[in-house]
Amino acid sequence: MSVTAAKGFQAAGIAAGIKANGNPDLALVVNSGPRRAAAGVFTSNRVKAAPVLWSEQVLKGGAVTAVVLNSGGANACTGPQGFQDTHATAERAAEVLGHSAGEIAVASTGLIGVLLPMDRLLPGIGQAAAELSEHGGEKAAIAIKTTDTVHKTAVAGGAGWTVGGMAKGAGMLAPGLATMLVVLTTDADLDTPTLDKALRDATRVTFDRADSDGCMSTNDTVLLLASGASGVVPGYDEFADAVRTVCADLARQLIGDAEGASKDIRIEVVNAASEDEAVDVGRTISRSNLLKCAIHGEDPNWGRVLSAIGTTSAAFEPDRLNVAINGVWVCRNGSVGDDRDLVDMRFREVVITADLAAGDASAVIWTNDLTADYVHENSAYSS
Amino acid sequence: MSVTAAKGFQAAGIAAGIKANGNPDLALVVNSGPRRAAAGVFTSNRVKAAPVLWSEQVLKGGAVTAVVLNSGGANACTGPQGFQDTHATAERAAEVLGHSAGEIAVASTGLIGVLLPMDRLLPGIGQAAAELSEHGGEKAAIAIKTTDTVHKTAVAGGAGWTVGGMAKGAGMLAPGLATMLVVLTTDADLDTPTLDKALRDATRVTFDRADSDGCMSTNDTVLLLASGASGVVPGYDEFADAVRTVCADLARQLIGDAEGASKDIRIEVVNAASEDEAVDVGRTISRSNLLKCAIHGEDPNWGRVLSAIGTTSAAFEPDRLNVAINGVWVCRNGSVGDDRDLVDMRFREVVITADLAAGDASAVIWTNDLTADYVHENSAYSS
């Protein structure tokens, strides 16, 4: 279903030869209208890849007719030549599709610090355009994979309208945003400001709260394109709910496919003084390598949760903290609680609940365990 | 040499039965004067172990006659009972040594959230006191080991006076301070304010700049005790230099013995706008799991250095950043620099130089690589 679930979109995914192993590496998503409204959210990393710098400019215009995405190279830290390559990519797509380059977004993922093989990428755009199809969403989702073991798609919607999307991302996943490329499409008949608000409302509580390894990417891009092809104008709440549902679904899939992970960890911070503090505490817990190793070993080592909480500036009293792991309150009032042997950690999902006893705000952060496989994937070869 | 290198100190290290495996687990360091001046620096974690809460109070008095240290249990997150246990430890040492409990510091290390076996610890204090010796420094250093593979000691000094020390710490090493217990002793004839200043000046640029795994402990304790037994009053600069030398030596040993590490990584941040920003950038680089995995794989993946720098708020322009790995400037002006194949990473020490081109301040942060052995050590059993 992916990006072609909504009416008015065509997509393709092909092997252009950017990846040495011959796997699919170039995707094209085209909005055939009648509307071409679009919103985007990008990495908050100050070191931004060339395609991010380019697409940020494109999105300022509020209209996107097509997105060119490549895996096999991030085109980050590639200097003026890298930016020229992104520009040339948009120009080639504009030429092939008969649109303005100023409405063509570009997204790249892969190794940082390497120039893209433009002699293969540019011809690939023509090839992808020739394969554009209303059923091409799956192929596009497959072409943007890097170390992902599966491609990720999701769909939601209402009466007569649909939101669909695809995502890639498996490592360098951290808030603001995770390392990922995401394209969402909808046939709802909505303008750019509405799309922008719905997208920001959704990413704030989904992708921004997935933190696999604390490492923020240079390339994160989340785009939402509206074709208006359904002719339906859903109410804001209903539409925002669908966008959030698709984002949450994709974010959950990203965590579930994180590099080397054997456990998905849901960190619930409750009774915080504010939502911001709940998020801060959740992220800090999610970044404790020691805790992530313990979870990998199915060890309910709650001391590592407390030592992480203690490094934050959130409101709490150490002797009022409570921590549950998979529902067993192993820490009560900052001290030894129920028997840790009662904690059953055999399943993939692990829930850590941190009760700050300081207010009534809460937040959920998703992360995963730290494993030898993660180390292997990120040390055995460049990525 | 350790804590008994300086005149006026006795020490012992014994197996009290706190550790299940029968290894040494209780150390005693006694200052026989004539002075009993002391300074201390403790973890900045807000979740503090009982012995930290106790010893912070003791140090406020500015005098320490003895330090009781145990491995085999952190006595952290153990509630009122844990604090009573620390108090009882000091009381027993006071009774055995004939001193006031208010001048006896206590330090503990090991698993968080478990009460200490006081039925074994308390008798151990009498046994350790019976074995006190002016040659007991090595045994004391051995008794405070947890996952350390070697014990750590260092010595420096001047004409007629000495500074010696011991340290433990192998995991949960992060600034402010690393997970460690450190006792430094000197026979220089100096008062508490001088010791305090020298200790803070030293830890700020040594232990506070060692970040093994980004995890801050609940138990970190660094003590500096002065006996005055040499009768020598060194100048401040000379003394501070010796304290810093011993701290730097011990900090380097901690990084060199970090859990599972195969590489020691020296991160030099140069041309920063301020020292604080240099430290911030260095720490951020040191906490990139992706970079630490790459270094483990001997991959000069400078893109992971840039993506880490980009998450900080330090002054820099992305297109003016330069990065060298082992002296090869693989990144110049934020883009591809010299050939990465020129980087030789076969040796244990790896030097990463990050040039922010934003000023003339600099700082060095030490960390190590992330390995499957680290994951194993921290997942296979509780620690």
- Tell me: do A35 and A74 sit in the same domain: yes
Q: Do A290 and B319 touch (CB under 8 A)?
A: no
Residues 280 through 299 of chain B touching chain A, CB cutoff 8 Å? 287-290, 293-294, 296-297, 299
CATH code where residue A227 lies: 3.60.70.12
- Provide the 10 A C-beta neighbour count for residue B214: 24
Residues 323 through 362 of chain B touching chain A, CB cutoff 8 Å? 330-331, 333-336
For residue B331, the chain A residues in CB contact (below 8 A) are 77, 113
Best to test chain A binding among B85, B146, B307, B335 (most A CBs inside 10 Å): B307
For residue A217, the chain B residues in CB contact (below 8 A) are 307
Over its length of 383 residues, how does chain A's per-residue pLDDT go in tens digits? 799 999 999 999 999 999 999 999 999 999 999 999 999 999 888 888 999 999 999 999 999 999 999 999 999 989 999 999 999 999 999 999 999 999 999 999 988 888 999 999 999 999 999 999 999 999 999 999 988 889 999 999 999 999 999 999 865 444 443 468 899 999 999 999 999 999 999 999 998 888 877 777 888 899 999 999 999 999 999 999 999 999 999 988 988 888 888 999 999 999 999 999 999 999 999 989 889 999 999 999 998 999 899 889 999 999 999 999 999 999 999 999 999 999 999 999 999 999 999 999 999 999 999 998 888 887 876 65
B317 is in an annotated binding site: no
Whole-number Å distance between alpha carbons of A382 and B198: 44
Q: What average pLDDT does chain B have?
A: 92
Residues 103 through 162 of chain B touching chain A, CB cutoff 8 Å? 111-115
Is the pLDDT at B174 greater than 50? The verdict is: no
Percent of chain B at pLDDT exceeding 70: 97
Quote the Cα angle for B305-B250-B57, to 5°. 105
- Tell me: do A181 and A302 sit in the same domain: no
Catalytic residue among A86, A153, A179, A218: A179
A56 is in an annotated binding site: no
Annotation marks residue A179 as catalytic: yes
Q: Which of A234, A256, A278 is the last residue of a domain?
A: A256
- Tell me: do B208 and B286 sit in the same domain: no
- Tell me: do B95 and B157 sit in the same domain: yes
- Tell me: do A291 and A181 sit in the same domain: no
Distance, in angstroms, between A43 CA and closest chain B CA? Answer: 10
Residue B270's pLDDT band, with cuts at 50, 70 and 90, is very high
- Tell me: do B148 and B289 sit in the same domain: no
Q: Do A307 and B333 touch (CB under 8 A)?
A: no
pLDDT for the residue numbered B216? 78
- Tell me: do B200 and B272 sit in the same domain: no
pLDDT for the residue numbered B177? 38
For chain A, give the number of residues: 383
pLDDT for the residue numbered A383? 57
Distance, in angstroms, between A113 CA and closest chain B CA? Answer: 6
Whole-number Å distance between alpha carbons of A99 and A39: 18
What residues of B are labeled active site?
179
pLDDT for the residue numbered A146? 86
Best to test chain A binding among B44, B45, B46 (most A CBs inside 10 Å): B46
Give the C-alpha distances (Å, rounded to integers) separating A92 from A82, A104, A120, A137, B194. Answer: 15, 10, 12, 21, 70
At B300-352, the pLDDT tens digits run 999 899 989 988 999 999 999 999 999 999 999 999 999 999 999 999 999 99
Alpha helices in chain B (DSSP H): 50-60, 79-97, 118-130, 137-143, 192-205, 236-256, 275-286, 289-296, 303-309, 372-379
Question: What is the DSSP secondary-structure string of A76-124?
Answer: -S-HHHHHHHHHHHHHHHHHHHTS-GGGEEEEEBS-TT----HHHHHHH
Whole-number Å distance between alpha carbons of A27 and A128: 7
Residue from the list B48, B330, B375 with its beta carbon closest to the beta carbon of A296? B375
For chain B, give the number of residues: 383
Q: Which of A202, A228, A256 is the last residue of a domain?
A: A256
- Tell me: do A68 and A148 sit in the same domain: yes
- Tell me: do B190 and B321 sit in the same domain: no
pLDDT for the residue numbered A364? 93
Q: Which of A233, A256, A279 is the last residue of a domain?
A: A256
Domain that includes residue B362, residue range: 264-379
A215 secondary structure, DSSP code: P
Whole-number Å distance between alpha carbons of A381 and A147: 11
Is the pLDDT at B175 greater than 50? The verdict is: no
Residue B214's pLDDT band, with cuts at 50, 70 and 90, is confident
pLDDT for the residue numbered B178? 42
Question: What is the DSSP secondary-structure string of B150-182?
Answer: S-EEEEEEETTEEEEEEEE-SSS--SSS-S-EE
pLDDT for the residue numbered B213? 75
B367 touching A (Cβ < 8 Å) = no
Number of domains in chain A: 2
Contact A223, A65 (CB under 8 A): no
Partner residues linked to A166 by β-bridges = A153, A183
Whole-number Å distance between alpha carbons of B286 and B291: 8
pLDDT for the residue numbered A258? 82
Give the C-alpha distances (Å, rounded to integers) separating A117 from A20, A25, A349, B81, B192. Answer: 11, 12, 40, 65, 65
Chain A's closest residue to B297, CA to CA, is: A379
- Tell me: do B301 and B252 sit in the same domain: no
Whole-number Å distance between alpha carbons of A110 and A74: 4
In 3D space, the residue among B174, B157, B176, B180 whose CA is nearest the CA of residue B246 turns out to be B157
| Type of residue numbered A88 | A
- Tell me: do A52 and A151 sit in the same domain: yes
- Tell me: do B219 and B331 sit in the same domain: no
CATH code where residue B274 lies: 3.10.20.340
pLDDT for the residue numbered B1? 72
